[in-house]
Structure 1
Amino acid sequence: MDEQINYNLKQLGTWKRIFFMAVFSAIGALVRMILWAVIILQVASTLLTGKANQNILSFGRNLSIYTYHILLFLTFNTEILPFPFSTWNLTADLQLPEK
């Protein structure tokens, strides 16, 4: 058991993943703050014009999908790194493994 733990601790791939998880945790926090700004802008737009702003709608959807990709990576549901290490709109095409 101790040998297996020592082996796991020496795996470079594990430490790389932990590093990227820390990076994407910080990026995810920033994206969530931007999403709140999008929410506030959309509410203001709806109050002023009576309808949702299509540009803000599209931007909010893209940010939401990006957040989803980050969460998939952080929860080990995908090994594919989110943007900027993959294409921006890759998340919609991700094939999640069957569990």
Structure 2
Amino acid sequence: MNTEVSKPDQPGGSDAEEGGNDEPSIWKRLLFMLLCAVLYSVAEVVLFALVVLQFFFKLITGGTNERLLLFGQSIATYIYQIVQYLNFNCEYMPFPFNDWPRGAPLDCEEEA
């Protein structure tokens, strides 16, 4: 009978101790992910409204609205940040946990 206790940092070791420390943070992340999913839905509606406004602006004036272009880019970047966070591709938490994005999306390393 083997009575040796394996340590978690050794191959074949138990991950129970490591998993136990991460459990509260994974549940906390789940709550953040649910909030981000709701914010994603809101951002989709805002983006759709922005697209409609820009279309009618172009139809009426023949040109695009610079402010709508900039806001559209920031909404697109925001949606990108949410998707990256939801897919565990990035630990950077999007707005409202960090600043509102400006411009094109950055890599996770650049945002942190």
TM-score range, shorter chain: 0.7 to 0.9
Flag the structure with more relative contact order, 1 or 2, with Cα contacts below 8 A and sequence separation at least 6.
1
Whether the 8 Å contact between 2:91 and 2:108 is mirrored in structure 1 is no
Q: How many residues align?
A: 93
How far did residue 93 of structure 1 move?
A: 3.3
TM-score, normalization: structure 2? 0.73
5+ residue gaps, structure 1: none
The structure with the largest helix share of the pair is 1
Q: Does the Cα contact within 8 Å between 2:54 and 2:68 map onto a contact in 1?
A: yes
Report sequence identity in percent. 30
Structure 2 unpaired stretches of 5+: 1-13
Hey, what's the Cα distance between the residues in 2 that align with 1:84 and 1:42?
A: 26
Partner amino acid, structure 2, of 1:48: I
Deviations 1:80-99 (A, max 9, x none): 11111112127733335xxx
Please give the per-residue CA displacement for 1:20-43, whole angstroms capped at 9, x wherever unaligned: 000000000000000000000000
Q: 2:111 aligned with 1:94, yes or no?
A: no
Bigger Rg over Cα: 2
Task: Give me the CA root mean square deviation.
Answer: 2.2
The normalised TM-score by structure 1 is 0.82
Moved beyond 6 Å, runs of 4+ = none
